[in-house]
Amino acid sequence: MSAAEHLLVVVTGPGEARSLIEAEVAHPQLSVLDVGVTRGDGIFETISIGAGHPQALEAHLDRFARSARMLDLPEPDRDLWRDAVQTLAARLSEHEEAWVKTVLTRGIEGQPVPTGWAYGTVSPAFRRERTEGIDVVLLDRGLRSDAPATSPWLLAGAKTLSYAVNRAAVREAQRRGADDVIFVSSDGQLLEGPTSTVVLRRGDVLSTPPDDVGILPGTTQADLFAAADQWGLRTTIEPLTPDDLGDADAVWLVSSVRHAAPVRSIDGAARPVDTPLTAAMNGFLRARRS
C-alpha cells in the first residue's frame, strides 16, 4: 500500500458484513474532517462484477485516473486499486451480479494525504428496469455544451463525489412520475443520465453523444459499441438533440450496474422498446469476464 493512500477495503455479503482489512462497513471509518464528506471533494468509480470478474476494469481505472487529473488529485496507484477491486470481486464470486466502488478523496482538511477505500456488495435485482423499461424526463442541466472548454472548474464530465445534483434530478423525475432523467444542455444538446449514458438506435446505427459536451465517457456504452457488430449494428458518436430521441427506434440508459435499461417513455410520451436487442445487450453485458 502506498504511503499516500490509505486503502480501506471492505466487503459486505447479503445479511452480514465481513471484513477484509480490519474494516467493516457497519463501523465508522472516516474522519468528520475528510473533505470527501464535508465538500464532496473526491472521485469514485463503480465497477460491476460478474461472477467474481470485474467488468471493464481497465476502462474504469483509466477513468479514475482521468477524474483525478481533472480534480488535481494525485495519480491513483493503478496496481493498488486493481488489486483492491480484484480482491473484493473474488469475495463476491458466488454472486452472478455484484459491484465494487472505489473512492478517493482529497483527505483531511489541510493535510496533503488523500483518503481511499473500496467496498463491494451484491447488486440489487434490475429485472423490471431491464425488461419492462424505464420512464424518463428531460431536464435542463443548466450548463452549455461548451462548459468543459469555457469553465473547466465546473468539472463537467469528471466522476466526482458531488452527486447531490444528480440525486436531486432523480427526485425531480420521481415527482413527475418517472424513474430517471436525461439531461439536456442549456444550448439544446443531449447529454447523459445522472448515472448513465444515453444510447439510441436509428435503423442499424447505435449513437451516443461525444464526451466533449461535458459528459462522463461511459464504460458500458464503450463495451456495447465494441460489440455492436455481432448484432449487425454500426455505431456513431455524434452531437445529438432531443429531436433525435423522437426519431429513434429505441433509446436506452446504459451503466455499469443496471446495464441497459430501455426507455419506454419520455416526458410521458410512450417510446418503442426493442425487446430482443435489449435482451441481447444485457446478456452480453452480464456475461463479460473482463
Rounded distance between C-alpha atoms, residue 203 and residue 47, angstroms: 31
C-alpha cell, 114: 488523500
| Cα 252–chain centre separation | 14
Which grid coordinates are listed for 221?
Answer: 456504452
Q: Is 197 among the residues that bind ligand PLP (CB under 6 A)?
A: yes
What's the gap between Cα 30 and its chain centre? 23
Interactions with ligand PLP, residue window 19-48 (CB under 6 A)? 46
Residue 47 C-beta: closest distance to ligand PLP, Å? 8
| Residue 239 neighbours by CB under 8 Å, 6+ apart | 145, 189, 190, 209, 210, 213
> Toward ligand PLP, which CB reaches closer, 88 or 108?
88
* Residue 216 touching ligand PLP (CB under 6 A): yes
Terminal-to-terminal C-alpha distance of the chain: 24
Q: Considering the rule CB under 6 A, would residue 218 count as an interface residue with ligand PLP?
A: yes
Q: Is 256 in the site for ligand PLP (CB under 6 A)?
A: yes
Of residues 165 through 194, those in contact with ligand PLP by CB under 6 A are 192, 194
Q: Which stretch binds ligand PLP (CB under 6 A): 125-133, 232-240, 252-260, 262-270?
A: 252-260
Q: Does 102 bind ligand PLP (CB under 6 A)?
A: no
Of 65-73, 115-123, 202-210, 250-258: span binding ligand PLP (CB under 6 A): 250-258
| CB closer to ligand PLP out of 8 and 182 | 182
Scored b (16 or more CB within 10 A) or e, 224-238 reads bbebbeeeebebebe
Alpha-carbon dihedral 192, 193, 194, 197, rounded to 10 degrees = -70
Count of beta carbons in the 10 Å neighbourhood of residue 262: 25
Q: Applying CB under 6 A, which of residues 55, 102, 189, 255 lies at the interface with ligand PLP?
A: 255
**129 in contact with ligand PLP (CB under 6 A):** no
Pairing relationship of beta strands 259-266 and 134-140 according to DSSP bridges: parallel
Task: Tell me if 196 contacts ligand PLP by CB under 6 A.
Answer: yes
Smallest separation (angstroms) from ligand PLP to the CB of 63: 7
In whole angstroms, the minimum distance from the beta carbon of 285 to ligand PLP comes to 10
List contacts with ligand PLP (CB under 6 A).
46, 192, 194-197, 216, 218-221, 254-256
